[in-house]
């Protein structure tokens, strides 16, 4: 029996495992959730039942359940113990958003039409299950893989990875010859291998004016009006000034998206004295983030002088893009061979705007790829994971684990 046949024997068990993970609310504490402890404990129990060696690394966080952000590291020795092929997935999820947009309870999984619906099903529990059962299938074959194989289930990926992969790298767990597969992005066909990411800049704009009654606006300074005009000019200026393209990336240009807005006043007839907006920037590596920030600061200064409002700018997250993984690296070649063998796919190799754990590895000079098969429902209402994608991806991961 080959490894693909072994993987497929576990399909129903994989589905049950995914459902169990979805049931455990692990919304990141940065978004008001409990964190990852329940999922970590569930996975620990499964690893113990399978007699797989693992260690747990906890990053302290008083906001989280148990006051910790757990990270689990599984490592199985191979014939060449000097290098490890790692598969890195994350335990935390984003909030469900507007529950009225969901057809189901976001944390009570539903199986329908070959899909598992629920928050975190695609991002990232389905891929976690794929890596877990890929390793189980490899071990069922009764032989050592050609190199060490590791699984990492990390915390905090959805909010910057301070308590997750960044924390683990500082523990000295990974080696110079190690390689990393991060199944946290992809396409419905599984035909895209990500080797590069854009820089990330998340910004918070706090506009301070003067609150007053809406019938007497001249007695105050409307922070909402200033904020709307400010954000519109920043949006238009960034798109005009930084409009260059790079065909390696999808999309090929930088993106600057106004996203979150905090509540300002609770009643209609009050002019707000404080308004808070956020901007999500995904910037091509050729554009220095300091240049983007300087452009924004110049616009802010102009608005402060013209309106009398005060604008506080806060960098919520900054990730300067590292060098890409080489297209001809052994890791990329290994994944390409596996896709050709099991799916007859000649994948596209390129970059994305999304931020993943892969950027942290590339910053250290290690080779990392991002790949999985997904319908790209992450962060949406009615998020789902296709069962066939989950099982088929496990076959690809198992093939990679067995490849020299």
What tokens were used for 310? 């005060």
Give Cα separations from 59 to 40, 166, 363 (angstroms): 13, 10, 21
167 in Cβ contact with 92 (< 8 Å): no
Domain boundary among 319, 334, 349: 319
256 in Cβ contact with 281 (< 8 Å): yes
Q: How far apart are CA 203 and CA 314, in angstroms?
A: 6
Mean pLDDT value across residues 112-122: 98
Residue 258 confidence (pLDDT): 97
3: CB partners within 8 A, 6+ apart: 137, 138, 141, 395, 398, 399, 402
What tokens were used for 321? 């893009």
For the chain, how far is it from start to end, CA to CA, in angstroms?
20
pLDDT higher than 80, residue 354: no
Asked whether residue 129 falls in the same domain as residue 41, the answer is yes
The torsion angles phi and psi of 164, rounded to 5 degrees, stand at -115, -110
Domain boundary among 260, 292, 319: 319
- When pLDDT is cut at 50, 70 and 90, the band that residue 12 belongs to is very high
What tokens were used for 349? 């190799």
Three-class SS of residue 195?
Answer: strand
Three-class SS of residue 319?
Answer: strand
Please list the residues that pair with 199 across neighbouring strands.
283
Residue 319 confidence (pLDDT): 87
Write out the H or E segment, with its range, that includes residue 342.
helix 330-343
The string of pLDDT tens digits covering residues 278-315 is 999 999 999 999 999 999 999 999 999 999 999 999 99
157 belongs to the catalytic site: yes
Domain boundary among 274, 303, 319: 319
Asked whether residue 277 falls in the same domain as residue 350, the answer is no
pLDDT higher than 80, residue 317: yes
Asked whether residue 246 falls in the same domain as residue 276, the answer is yes
Q: How far apart are CA 154 and CA 91, in angstroms?
A: 6
83 in Cβ contact with 145 (< 8 Å): no
What percentage of the chain exceeds 70 in pLDDT? 100
The string of pLDDT tens digits covering residues 205-215 is 999 999 999 99
The catalytic residue among 157, 158, 178, 194 is 157
Q: How far apart are CA 29 and CA 36, in angstroms?
A: 9
The string of pLDDT tens digits covering residues 31-86 is 999 999 999 999 999 999 999 999 999 999 999 999 999 999 999 999 999 999 99
Q: How far apart are CA 404 and CA 402, in angstroms?
A: 7
What tokens were used for 212? 């007053």
Asked whether residue 162 falls in the same domain as residue 103, the answer is yes
Please list the residues that pair with 271 across neighbouring strands.
212
41: CB partners within 8 A, 6+ apart: none
Q: DSSP states of 86-128 as a string?
A: EEEEE--B-----GGG-SS-TTS-EEETTEEESTTIIIIIHHH
Q: How far apart are CA 282 and CA 240, in angstroms?
A: 15
Tell me 8's DSSP state: H
The catalytic residue among 92, 122, 156, 179 is 92
* Domain assignment of residue 336, given as a range: 3-197+323-402
Three-class SS of residue 295?
Answer: helix
Asked whether residue 219 falls in the same domain as residue 192, the answer is no
Q: How far apart are CA 12 and CA 390, in angstroms?
A: 11
Q: How far apart are CA 359 and CA 65, in angstroms?
A: 28
Asked whether residue 273 falls in the same domain as residue 284, the answer is yes
Q: What is the number of domains present in the chain? A: 2
Output the domain CATH number for residue 388. 3.40.630.10
Asked whether residue 180 falls in the same domain as residue 37, the answer is yes
Asked whether residue 236 falls in the same domain as residue 328, the answer is no
Asked whether residue 271 falls in the same domain as residue 228, the answer is yes
Q: How far apart are CA 184 and CA 373, in angstroms?
A: 9
Asked whether residue 273 falls in the same domain as residue 263, the answer is yes
Asked whether residue 254 falls in the same domain as residue 178, the answer is no
- When pLDDT is cut at 50, 70 and 90, the band that residue 142 belongs to is confident
Where does residue 156 fall: left (phi above 0), alpha (psi -120 to 50 degrees), or beta otherwise?
Answer: left
264 in Cβ contact with 252 (< 8 Å): no
Asked whether residue 64 falls in the same domain as residue 131, the answer is yes
The alpha carbons of the chain give a radius of gyration, in whole angstroms, of 23
49 belongs to the catalytic site: no
Output the domain CATH number for residue 225. 3.30.70.360
């Amino acid at each position: 029996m080959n490894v693909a046949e072994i993987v497929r024997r576990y399909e129903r068990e994989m589905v049950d495992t995914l459902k169990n993970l979805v049931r455990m609310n692990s919304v990141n504490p940065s978004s008001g959730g409990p964190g990852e402890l329940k999922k970590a404990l569930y996975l620990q129990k499964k690893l113990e039942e399978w007699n797989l060696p693992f260690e747990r690394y906890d990053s302290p966080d008083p906001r989280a359940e148990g006051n910790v952000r757990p990270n689990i590291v599984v490592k199985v020795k191979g014939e060449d113990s000097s290098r490890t092929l790692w598969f890195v997935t994350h335990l935390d999820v984003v909030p469900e958003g507007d529950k009225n947009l969901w057809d189901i309870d976001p944390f009570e999984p539903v199986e329908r039409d070959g899909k598992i619906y629920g928050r975190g099903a695609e991002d990232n529990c389905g891929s976690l299950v794929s890596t877990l059962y890929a390793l189980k299938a490899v071990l069922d074959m009764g032989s050592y893989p050609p190199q060490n194989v590791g699984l990492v289930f990390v915390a905090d990926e959805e909010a910057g990875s301070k308590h997750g992969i960044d924390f683990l790298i500082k523990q000295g767990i990974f080696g110079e010859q190690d390689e990393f597969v991060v199944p946290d992005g992809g396409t419905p066909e599984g035909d895209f291998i990500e080797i590069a990411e854009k820089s990330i800049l998340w910004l918070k704009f706090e506009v301070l004016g003067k609150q007053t009654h809406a019938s007497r606006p001249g007695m105050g300074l409307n922070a909402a009006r200033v904020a709307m005009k400010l954000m519109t000019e920043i949006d238009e200026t960034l798109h005009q000034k930084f409009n260059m393209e790079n065909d390696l990336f999808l999309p090929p240009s930088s993106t600057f998206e106004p996203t979150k807005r905090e509540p300002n006043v609770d009643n209609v007839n009050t002019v707000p004295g404080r308004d808070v907006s956020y901007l999500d920037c995904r910037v091509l590596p050729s554009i220095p983030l300091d240049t983007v920030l300087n452009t924004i600061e110049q616009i802010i200064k102009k608005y402060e002088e013209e309106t009398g409002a005060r604008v506080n700018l806060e960098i919520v997250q900054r990730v300067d893009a590292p060098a890409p993984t080489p297209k001809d690296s052994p890791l990329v070649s290994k994944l390409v061979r596996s896709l050709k063998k099991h799916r007859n796919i000649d994948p596209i190799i390129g970059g994305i705007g999304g931020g993943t754990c892969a950027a942290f590895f590339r910053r250290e000079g290690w080779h990392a790829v991002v790949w999985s098969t997904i319908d790209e429902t992450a962060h949406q209402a009615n998020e789902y994971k296709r069962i066939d994608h989950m099982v088929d991806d496990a076959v690809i991961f198992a093939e990679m684990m067995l490849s020299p």
